[in-house]
């Protein structure tokens, strides 16, 4: 039984790190800071969740602590990227020319 | 088989780390470095969790938790700083 | 909701967090946790916790379950979509920052909504101002307030409205 869970956990683990790698790729390919934050937050959040879940499947007695780390990341990751995105916008970060509309700049003035 | 999967995962996480490190060094703006730093920490947490599994030590998970807490606070503080000074 | 109720909910949240952190139900660690939580509650009486403003009704508990399921589905979907964008050679993005309006009144409900939006397909909350949210959208579909609200907010709002109001 545990042998099956080990294999399953290993597969979940690898799928999680694949998402981490995709996020890293996105961070390098995206043209401006806002798109980079998007790529950086989402994929790493799911990637970490899957990694922790995979380890949890291999070590069921650790699952409480892994769950705690996962929940913590789930709540803090989006918060820090929100704060960073706002800071970047207020600091007048360059937006890619493909950007079609910016309602935030319309309402608050555009420092860039 | 399982060991192989764990080491494959560690290799993928390592490759992701190097890619993000490039963005961290290349910048160009401080905000780019901060988001790269944030992602580096998250990948490190995965790395610490993997190390805990490989070494079989649950105590490493506490390290990961404290690391997550500190990096969150760090990013918030740096973002606050950038907001006034960029 | 009374002050005592808010404090009690913060205390319960802290104790639950402490128990998870310790992973044991031993009496001595429980007593330390109660002491530490009481000190924190004394200094941060009015702070938000996950349970503050939560409505303890059967409907709210059901909505929580369906919210979690919906959220996980959206999280996976958003990752697959982003992975496809990143892997495509010509990087097909048309970003924009849109403004949307939420019906939610509670602070915790709005916070959870902003967080959920950040983690779901192609959207990133930049600023939360009263009922208005400014959202960066990687694949812009609708630039006006109504269209964007319908596309981004309503899926989560349906659940959160029952949970927090």
- Give burial (CB, 10 Å; 0-12/13-18/19+) of B2: middle
The answer to whether position C50 is within a domain reads: no
Q: Where does chain A show beta strands of DSSP type E?
A: none
Q: What is the DSSP letter of A95?
A: P
- Rounded to 5°, the CA angle A10-A14-B4 comes to 55
pLDDT tier at B86, thresholds 50, 70, 90? very low
Q: What distance in Å separates residue C164's CA from the closest CA in chain A?
A: 17
Longest Cα–Cα distance of chain C, Å, equals: 60
**Of the partner residues A11, A40, A68, the one whose CB lies closest to the CB of residue B5:** A11
Write the ipTM: 0.82
pLDDT tens digits for range A47-57: 898 999 999 88
Instruction: Measure B63 CA to nearest chain A CA, in Å.
Output: 10
What are the domain boundaries of chain A?
Answer: 2-93
Same domain? C8 vs C67: no
Residue C49 lies in a domain: no
- Tell the residue number behind the tokens 């599994």, with chain if given: B53
Chain B partners within 8 Å of A58 (Cβ): 2, 53
- Chain C residues touching residue A95 (CB < 8 angstroms): 95
CB-based contact A17 B6, cutoff 8 Å: no
Chain B nearest C-alpha distance from A88 (Å) = 6
Contact of C106 with C52, CB cutoff 8 Å: no
> Are C74 and C104 within one domain?
yes
Closest CA to A87 of B30, C58, B22: B30
Q: Within a 10 A sphere around the Cβ of C40, how many other Cβ atoms?
A: 14
Which residue do the tokens 């973002």 mark?
Answer: B79
Cβ neighbours of A57 in B, within 8 Å: none
> In this predicted structure, what is the pLDDT of residue B14?
92
In a domain, C111, yes or no: yes
- For residue C55 the two structure tokens come to 């409505």
- In angstroms, the CA C159 to CA C154 distance is 9
State the first-to-last Cα distance of chain C, in angstroms, to the nearest integer. 13
Q: Chain C: residue nearest A86 by CA?
A: C126
How distant is the Cα of B55 from the closest Cα of chain A, in angstroms? 12
Number of compact structural domains in chain C: 2
Q: Of C75-79, C105-109, C125-129, which gets the smallest average pLDDT?
A: C105-109
Residues constituting chain B: 86
Residue B28: exposure state from Cβ atoms within 10 A (0-12, 13-18, ≥19): exposed
Phi-psi region of A42 (alpha: psi -120 to 50; beta: other; left: phi over 0): alpha
- Please give the structure tokens belonging to residue A111: 């420092």
Whether B31 and A87 lie within 8 Å, measured CB to CB:
yes
Measured between alpha carbons, how far apart are the two ends of chain B, in Å? 50
Residue A65: which of B58, B76, B79 has the nearest Cβ? B58
Which residues on C lie below 8 Å from A38 (Cβ)?
Answer: 82, 122-124, 136, 138
Asked whether the beta carbons of residue A79 and residue C115 sit closer than 8 angstroms, the reply is yes
pLDDT at C23: 67
Q: How far apart are the first and last CA of chain A?
A: 59
Of A105 and A83, more confident: A83
Tell whether the model's pLDDT for residue B31 goes beyond 70. Answer: yes
Phi–psi pair at B58, nearest 5 degrees? -70, -25
Whether B31 contacts A84, CB under 8 Å: yes
Cross-chain Cβ contact A10/B2 below 8 Å: yes
Residues of A in contact with B75 (CB under 8 A): 80, 83-84
| 3-state SS assignment for residue C97 | strand
Rounded to whole angstroms, how far apart are CA atoms B5 and B20?
A: 23
- Interaxial angle between packed helices C154-163 and C58-87, expressed in degrees from 0 to 180 and rounded to the nearest 10: 150
Determine if the peptide bond prior to B28 is cis (ω within 30°). yes
A69: its two tokens: 């780390």
pLDDT, tens digit, for every residue of B36-76? Answer: 888 899 899 999 999 988 888 888 888 888 888 888 888 88
Q: Which residue has the tokens 């967080």?
A: C115
Query: pLDDT tens digit string along C81-122?
Result: 888 888 888 777 777 788 787 777 777 778 888 888 888 777
Give the pLDDT band (50/70/90) at residue C165.
low
Residue C98 placed within a domain = yes
CB A4 within 8 A of CB A52: no
CA distance C71 to A39: 18
Tell me the whole-structure pTM to 2 decimals. Answer: 0.82
For residues A2-28, average pLDDT = 87
Domain hosting residue C82, numbered range: 58-163
């Amino acid at each position: 039984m545990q042998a099956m869970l080990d294999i399953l956990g290993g597969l979940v683990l690898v799928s999680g790190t694949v998402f981490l790698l995709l996020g890293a790729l996105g961070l390098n390919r995206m043209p401006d800071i806002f798109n980079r934050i998007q790529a950086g937050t989402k994929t790493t959040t799911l990637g970490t969740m899957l990694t922790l879940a995979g380890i949890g499947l291999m070590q069921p007695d650790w699952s409480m602590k892994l769950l705690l780390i996962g929940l913590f990341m789930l709540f803090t990751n989006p918060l820090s990227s929100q704060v960073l995105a706002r800071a970047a916008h207020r600091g007048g970060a360059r937006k890619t020319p493909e950007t079609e509309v910016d309602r935030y700049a319309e309402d608050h003035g555009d420092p860039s | 088989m399982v060991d192989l999967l764990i080491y494959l995962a560690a290799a993928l996480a390592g490759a992701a780390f190097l890619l993000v490190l490039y963005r961290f060094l290349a910048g160009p703006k401080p905000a780019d470095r901060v988001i790269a730093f944030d992602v580096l920490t998250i990948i490190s947490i995965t790395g610490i969790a993997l190390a805990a599994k490989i070494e079989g030590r649950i105590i490493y998970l506490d390290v990961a938790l404290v690391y997550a807490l500190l990096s969150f606070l760090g990013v918030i503080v740096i973002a606050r700083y950038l907001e006034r000074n960029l | 909701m009374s002050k005592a109720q808010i404090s009690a909910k913060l205390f319960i949240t802290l104790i639950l967090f402490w128990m998870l952190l310790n992973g044991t139900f031993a009496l001595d660690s429980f007593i330390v946790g109660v002491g530490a939580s009481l000190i924190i509650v004394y200094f941060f009486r009015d702070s938000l916790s996950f349970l503050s403003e939560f409505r303890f009704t059967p409907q709210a508990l059901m909505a929580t379950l369906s919210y979690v399921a919906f959220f996980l589905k959206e999280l996976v979907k958003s990752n697959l979509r982003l992975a496809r964008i990143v892997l495509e050679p010509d990087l097909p993005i048309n970003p924009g920052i849109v403004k949307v309006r939420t019906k939610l009144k509670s602070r915790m409900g709005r916070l959870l909504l902003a967080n959920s939006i950040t983690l779901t397909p192609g959207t990133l909350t930049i600023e939360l101002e009263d009922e208005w949210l400014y959202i960066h959208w990687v694949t812009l579909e609708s630039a006006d307030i109504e269209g964007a609200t319908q596309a981004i907010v309503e899926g989560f709002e349906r659940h959160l409205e029952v949970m927090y109001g």
